[in-house]
Structure 1
Amino acid sequence: MRYLIFLVTFLVLCHSTMGDDLVQQTCKKASDADKNLNYNFCVSALEASPKSKGADLAGLAGIALDLTTAKATSIKSTISKLLNDPKVDKPALQDCEELYSGATDDLQAATNAFKSSDYGTALTHLSATLNAPDTCETGFQERKAVSPLSKDDGDFAQLNIISLAFINQLRG
């Protein structure tokens, strides 16, 4: 009986660490291929999702895409709240709102293409969202205003790069 308990425990532990190993391996491969991708951010973002345990590469790519979409949606919500703040540069914020509205549309199209295993189209739509965070930040800089979205923009950029890298790995 003890042997059976040990065996079951061993198999459960191996299964859960295998998922973590794939996250780490995939993030390592992606960060080696793209120096803009932060390995530690990649690992922590994916390992924070319970779905990453035991996920294959397609599962990890889907998780990354979901995280990217959730971040864009969160940024849009933050922008909506900040538009009521008199201390924030409204024209720059409105530009960001427009950028992230377009990004969420492209992310939805990327998700639909990904679910259909049309990775080329998914990559095209994802690529269309790459400039949103930089363009948003540039708008504040040009107006000599402090961006309240800097961290969110940086996180969105990282998640986007991760999604691109993982879907690219699926293409082979």
Structure 2
Amino acid sequence: MELALANATNTISTIENMLSSKEFDPFAIDCLKDCLELYADAIAMLVDAFTAYLSEHFDIATVLMRTVMDAASTCDEGFTEKKGGLTLLAKENYNLFQLSDISSCIIKQISSVPS
């Protein structure tokens, strides 16, 4: 979860740099702004997931991690709404999705261990 949080935080910086560069068309700028909001929400969910995990509320942590995965996918899909649209954050979205999926798997494994 910590790696996913670091990834999301770094991606926010990347998006902010891209937006300040002013080298993208209005469609890409709108997509980047949407992704910025999605990643900000994802950070809050990751913090909540970590808190739930530490409190042994594994079901809640898993749901939150899956929601983070959805945020990464939604960001990616936004760029594809325009024919031939290039996903500017494909690598970042893929990494967040994978890190969140790994975290979900770990949570599932830990929650199935008898206490």
**Alpha-carbon deviation of 1:149?**
0.9
Q: TM-score, normalised by structure 1?
A: 0.60
Q: Which amino acid aligns with 1:170?
A: I
Q: CA deviation at 1:148?
A: 2.1
Between the aligned partners of 1:134 and 1:124, the Cα distance in structure 2 is: 15
Which residues of 2 match residues 1-172 of structure 1 at below 5 A? 65-88=1-24, 89-144=28-83, 145-172=85-112
Aligned to 1:59: none
The alignment of Structure 1 onto Structure 2 pairs a total of residues equal to 108
1:169 partner letter: Q
Q: Distance in 1 between matches of 2:102 and 2:51?
A: 18
Tell me the distance in 2 between the aligned counterparts of 1:92 and 1:140. 6
Counterpart AA for 2:94:
G
Deviating 4+ runs (over 4 angstroms): none
- 1:92/1:143 contact within 8 Å kept: no
**Residue 140 (structure 1) shift:** 0.9
Which has the larger Rg? 1
Report percent identity of matched pairs: 32
Q: Which runs of 5+ in 2 are unaligned?
A: none
Instruction: Find the counterpart in structure 2 of residue 11 from structure 1.
Output: none
| RMSD (CA atoms) | 1.2
Give TM-score scaled by structure 2 length: 0.87
Which ranges of structure 1 fall in alignment gaps of 5 or more residues? Answer: 1-64
